[in-house]
Amino acid sequence: MEPAELAAVVFGVGYILLAIRERRACWIAGGISTAIYAAVFWRAGLPMQAALQLVYVAMSAWGWFAWRKAGHEPPPRSWPVARHVAAIAGVALATAVSAPLAAKYSLAAAPIADSLGTWASLVATWLLARRVIDTWAWWIVIDAGLAALFAWQGLAMTGALYLAYAVLAVAGWRSWRRSRSAA
């Protein structure tokens, strides 16, 4: 494991723990982790994930500002099933377009998994910034799949991190549901 991957893992753990606790600082830790991961994933042959990390840096800034009124925000909320179905259809369509392009131009070692993980992660991050409880269900599925992809690509620590993310997402879901109930 290279030092950059280790640093990204450390900041990534900080991100998820702070997000579960609904702490605004999660966006700083997440931004640092994703900036480092952009280079790590590029070197691992996962260009969609590398590009996603750059988008995450921008989304971290957006999340930081979206959560700026700590304590004054509405509690976490849920999305109706119809919105999830539409989001899943959007992820499938985006994957159907990007995966063949990545395969055609030999950009990705695993074009379908890389694309699917990227587009689903964008939706899940948007849900997190909007304080939608269901983000955690998305992350459970996404992180478990990405853990396998990263381990397959030789990024063992990152695979372990994403597996831990999947487990921690269960804790996040429970915590945010309690937060909603308390409001």
> Residue 180: in which H helix or E strand, if any?
helix 156-182
Most confident listed range (56-60, 127-131, 154-158): 56-60
pLDDT score at 71: 55
Tell me the C-alpha to C-alpha distance, in Å, between residue 17 and each of 27, 31, 81, 101, 133: 11, 14, 27, 36, 15
pLDDT score at 154: 87
pLDDT score at 77: 83
pLDDT above 70: residue 39: yes
Q: What are the tens digits of pLDDT across the range 69-122?
A: 655 556 788 899 999 999 999 999 999 999 998 888 766 778 899 899 999 999
pLDDT above 90: residue 65: no
Q: What are the tens digits of pLDDT across the range 143-168?
A: 999 999 989 988 888 899 899 989 99
